[in-house]
């Protein structure tokens, strides 16, 4: 009897460890990995010429940035990149006007924060016809590019 227990016990320890790792992935890791993958659509996008990144980050969560009516229980992702550029507003708009990016120019954006400290930006986006074609060689302007979306992932289980 003791001989069978000696063989069975290591098997159970390994199996228990694998189950714990799987549960850790399901409840912690997968949501971050899917959020990071979606955020990289903006964060890994090559910068236009004559531009530099000042700040960039992403965050995600359920009932985050979804407005007063929430987001239906789906995780919301917000990725943002603040850049300084010498290019014109029109050039920046044409470069980032893909993948539903929000583009905010100097003074037209406001930082929002929820009770968990998660941030996103809201403001007025200029109409395409009102964009300046004037270069900013002497005084570079700051531009905020933001990407907001809902996403899902396998084993969509969340305890928030």
Does residue 17 carry a pLDDT above 80?
yes
- What the block records as the tokens of 99 is 């993948």
Q: pLDDT tens across 85-138, in order?
A: 888 888 888 888 877 888 888 777 888 877 777 888 888 887 777 777 777 767
Does residue 20 carry a pLDDT above 80?
yes
SS3 102: strand
Q: Which residues pair with 8 in a beta bridge?
A: none
> For residue 41, what is the enclosing H or E element?
helix 30-43
* Beta carbons within 8 Å of 42's beta carbon, 6+ residues apart: 56, 79, 80, 81, 99, 101, 145, 146, 147
What is the DSSP secondary structure assignment for residue 26, as one 8-state letter?
I
Q: Rounded to two decimals, what is the model's pTM?
A: 0.70
């Amino acid at each position: 009897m003791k001989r069978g227990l000696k063989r069975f016990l290591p098997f159970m320890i390994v199996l228990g460890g694998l189950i714990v790792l799987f549960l850790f992935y399901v409840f912690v890791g997968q949501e971050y990995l899917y959020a990071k993958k979606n955020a990289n659509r903006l964060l890994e996008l090559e910068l236009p010429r004559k531009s530099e990144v000042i700040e960039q980050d992403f965050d995600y969560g359920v009932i985050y940035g979804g407005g007063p009516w929430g987001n239906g229980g789906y995780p919301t992702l917000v990725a943002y990149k603040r850049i300084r550029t010498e290019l014109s507003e029109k050039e920046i708009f044409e470069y980032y006007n893909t993948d539903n990016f929000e583009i905010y120019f100097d003074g037209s954006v406001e930082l929002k924060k929820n009770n968990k400290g998660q941030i996103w930006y809201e403001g007025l986006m200029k109409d395409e016809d009102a964009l300046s074609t004037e270069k900013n060689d002497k005084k570079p302007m700051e531009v905020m590019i933001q990407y907001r979306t809902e996403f899902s992932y396998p084993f969509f289980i969340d305890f928030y």
